[in-house]
Structure 1
Amino acid sequence: MSSSKFEEYLSKVISQVKSKEAHSMIKKELSDHMEELSKSFQERGVSIKDADKKAMEEMGDPSTVGKNMNHLHKPRMDWLLIVLFVILAGVSFLPLIGGFSEPSISLMKNQVVWLVLAILALVGFLFFDYRKLKNLWMYFYGGGLILFLTTFLVGMEVNGAKRWISFGGMTIDGPAITLFLFFLAWAGIFAKINEFKGWKKQGMLLFLFWTPVLLYIMVPQFMYSIIYFFCVLAMYVFSYVHKQFAIKVAVGNLLIGIIFISTMILYFPNSFLSDTLIPLKDILSEAGWFGKGLYNDLKLAEAHTDLVFPFLVYSLGWAFGMLLCLLLFVFILRISLNAFKTKDVFGRLLVIGGAALFIIPACWNILMGLGIVPIMVVPLPFISYGGSMLLVYSALLGLILNVYRRKDIVEPTIVN
């Protein structure tokens, strides 16, 4: 193909495309298509020069093509997720208003500060090229281990759990931040999973996988180990791994998992609160469709954190509770669907893992509030009071929006 004419045509097309990140992908896309057109004309007996000319004519006016490409390959924003985030963040103030004998001004001020930091985290993870994180998985994993070590050495113990680190007047839940770091690490690992060949590397993966589980139990924070387990499992299921390798890893993890769960049942049978200690079903049975109002006589421990759902249902009724469940369902469904709109394997893994990090705590918290599953320390995303998990969820949402924003401007790495 006539390189000078072709480059001139491409330059005119690219000049109409505002997103510089999409330029290389568009060039490759158009180049391949024009090569195919030129070859098809040559097969009909047309000379190379005329075939190239006809190929460009077939493509159409470069300015028009460029405008079409600019429309197709431009950053996009999922405004529905942002609106849902704002609504859920607004709901988080309701328990602080009505969950105490009088509105807790200090907690509301703290929540405002954390919410501002959460928005900064969301924006920070939204406007950069997420693909740069892929090769940093060792640093994220190492950072998670260092944070655990720091928590064990200098952390504060509250209610038998040594998981808090205080600095600069702020208290951070160390293990909660490690969830985010390990999530990033495993997304990077699974993006290049087929490079881990040989029994030594496979053994290393098993060690890397189970180490955080044991660390979360040592804190103790068993719920985080469950969230971590299913997050990594979800990313593994949707990673593009060779079948033989997948079977080996699955069998190895299954055997270790059986041993681990059996040990937990034998040695920690009374690790969870029974719902008989907190009569959640009785509380919910009195709620009615429209509740008792925010200012009521309900005395419920952790009404603004782990048991925020039964408090909201009791105060505002089952109608509000079902609406809240619907909002969370739409939020999680939207994230899950967005995962398959990107053709970049690392981006897809980030969204799938992020969806799991929302799904597990949201479902457990609601089922726990209904008295169906054991009561554990697990916040309802964006609604439960607490800064560390709010930061984690906001950073996750920023990454998920980042992947969606770039879904039409990154070069595909998934072959359908």
Structure 2
Amino acid sequence: MKRHPQIDEYIRQVCSQIKSKEVHEAISQELEGHFADRIADYQSEGMSEKDAVDRAILQMGDSHLIGKQLHQTHKPRIEWSLVGMVAALVGIGLLTLYSLLDSQSLVDSQFQRQILSVVLGAAVLAGILFADYRKLLPYCKQLYMTTLLVMLISLMTSEQVNGSLQYLDLGLFRFDFLSLSPILLVLSVAGLFSQWRWESWRDFSKALVVVLVPLLIYMSASRMFIGLLYVIWFGVLLFSSQMRRMYKWSFVGLIMALFLAAIGLLFAKPYAISRLLIFLDPYKDPLGAGYQTVQSIEAIRSAGWWGHGFGAQLAALPVTESDFVFAYLVYSFGWIAGGAVLLIGILLLYRIQRAMGQVKDRFGSLLIRGLMAVFFVPFFWSILMALGIVPIFSVSLPFISYGGTQFVLQMAVFGIILSVYRRKDITVLAASR
């Protein structure tokens, strides 16, 4: 049936009230279907086409009111509770670094750079928040291949710092690309997994290649923690994919076996193994391999409920601005402050988990799951490391530790998570077309 001009005008008026233009086509098709059904019913009762159209429009109701209701249903939404908790962590981080500055453990230029990183990170988060993450989907394979290529270049050209390859030298500036790579790989692998059908061993084989190459690069660069993080978030995406359960367990078992074998090769020397496992009994060598763990535990133990105060000096513990910033935070502001950071982290995880349940888009859901692992594994590892519960790696506490590049990347992670949540009602309607 040819659409009547009155129906066209009605639909136009409805859509004029809906700011999100991306849902206009889907809503138009939905309204057309309703009108077609009603007009057909009225005509079967003997009405003329004109009378049937008039009756259908009358029964549908006021176009502006319908449009406003649909706008409320499908408008993009920001999860402000997540924004608030991120802002709280950033504020705690700046206060902690300012305390380090007052104790002369941090210099003015470092604190100023962190302030600039906060401003830049906020801009990055806002820019990603209002972007359409779905536009990445057609380019996931290219993104994966490009990321691998730059990782290989980084492996071959980076400078070695503390036994691991760190910075990609681009001439004018140096950049730790391997720290950025987990985010890029989550974006690309989530897209690939959302498109694969997982019906044969061929998909299993492709997934095996996808996981092995980056893992080998991380191990070759001696980036143990990034390798561990990669195994964890890849496993999360794998179990969230549509791969058959028997394949999932086989796959994860194979990955873990390869990762542990790589760890064994890299820590083949007894001295290296003892350093890795010293957290089990750090007081066995308090002035050697267990020194950092012992100093961190003692600093936290001596803090009490309210700590030693703003600007407290903790010269005995190294890297208090990065790896052991949680120990310094508790030492200065007490167990209350440490508990608050831990509680915010748990609430943040809970809120993202709940928000994820409302996302029906397959790509978006996988993105959130992978990025949750990328953020929360370092978050909780850094805290547990300061408490002497897990081995020591070079792990910063997100949003609190000093580090410009890491801070901006962490803000980008939350920009993507918020972007997926913001578009959850739009993507559901668009997918139903």
The TM-score normalised by the length of structure 2 is: 0.86
* Structure that is richer in helix per residue: 2
How far off is 1:79 after superposition? 2.3
Q: Report what 2:3 is aligned to.
A: 3
**Any residues of structure 2 matched to 1:3-402 within 5 Å, and which?**
3-4=3-4, 5-35=6-36, 41=41, 49=49, 54-99=55-100, 101-102=103-104, 103-167=106-170, 170-194=173-197, 198-239=200-241, 241=242, 243=244, 246-262=245-261, 264-265=263-264, 268=267, 269-270=273-274, 272=276, 274-275=278-279, 276=282, 277=290, 278=292, 279=294, 280-299=296-315, 300-402=317-419
How far off is 1:348 after superposition? 1.7
* Partners of 1:343 and 1:414 within 8 A in 2: no
* Partners of 2:79 and 2:418 within 8 A in 1: yes
How far off is 1:80 after superposition? 2.4
What SS does the corresponding residue of 1:409 show, helix, strand or coil? helix
CA 1:119/1:284 → structure 2, altered by over 3 Å: closer, same or farther?
A: same
* Partners of 1:155 and 1:164 within 8 A in 2: yes
Hey, what's the Cα distance between the residues in 2 that align with 1:254 and 1:37? 57
How far off is 1:407 after superposition? 1.9
Alignment identity in percent? 32
How far off is 1:258 after superposition? 2.8
Instruction: Encode CA deviations 1:119-174: one digit per residue, 9 max, x unaligned.
Output: 23212212221110011112221222122122223222111111213457654221
* Partners of 2:215 and 2:227 within 8 A in 1: yes
Hey, what's the Cα distance between the residues in 1 that align with 2:339 and 2:235? 29
CA 1:35/1:328 → structure 2, altered by over 3 Å: closer, same or farther?
A: farther
Hey, what's the Cα distance between the residues in 2 that align with 1:242 and 1:92? 40
CA 1:222/1:9 → structure 2, altered by over 3 Å: closer, same or farther?
A: same
What SS does the corresponding residue of 2:276 show, helix, strand or coil? coil
Instruction: Encode CA deviations 1:292-315: one digit per residue, 9 max, x unaligned.
Output: 113224221111111111110111
* Partners of 2:199 and 2:243 within 8 A in 1: no
Instruction: List alignment gaps of at least 5 residues for structure 2.
Output: 268-272, 283-289
Hey, what's the Cα distance between the residues in 2 that align with 1:390 and 1:36? 55
Number of residue-to-residue matches in the alignment: 410
* Partners of 1:345 and 1:414 within 8 A in 2: no
Q: Which residue identity is paired with 1:255?
A: L
Instruction: Encode CA deviations 1:344-391: one digit per residue, 9 max, x unaligned.
Output: 221222222222212211111111111111111111111111122212
Hey, what's the Cα distance between the residues in 1 that align with 2:329 and 2:429? 44
How far off is 1:224 after superposition? 1.0
Hey, what's the Cα distance between the residues in 2 that align with 1:294 and 1:147? 43
Q: Which residue identity is paired with 1:285?
A: R
CA 1:309/1:44 → structure 2, altered by over 3 Å: closer, same or farther?
A: farther
What SS does the corresponding residue of 1:286 show, helix, strand or coil? helix
CA 1:262/1:155 → structure 2, altered by over 3 Å: closer, same or farther?
A: closer
* Partners of 1:2 and 1:52 within 8 A in 2: no
Hey, what's the Cα distance between the residues in 2 that align with 1:237 and 1:345? 13
What SS does the corresponding residue of 2:175 show, helix, strand or coil? strand
Hey, what's the Cα distance between the residues in 2 that align with 1:47 and 1:117? 64
* Partners of 2:155 and 2:217 within 8 A in 1: no
Hey, what's the Cα distance between the residues in 2 that align with 1:66 and 1:287? 58
Q: Compare 286-295 and 274-283 and name the one that shifted more.
A: 274-283
Instruction: Encode CA deviations 1:219-249: one digit per residue, 9 max, x unaligned.
Output: 111111222222222223333x264xx5335
* Partners of 1:38 and 1:48 within 8 A in 2: no
* Partners of 2:239 and 2:248 within 8 A in 1: no
What SS does the corresponding residue of 1:274 show, helix, strand or coil? helix
Instruction: Encode CA deviations 1:68-112: one digit per residue, 9 max, x unaligned.
Output: 112222122222222222222222223433336425202112212
* Partners of 1:332 and 1:358 within 8 A in 2: no
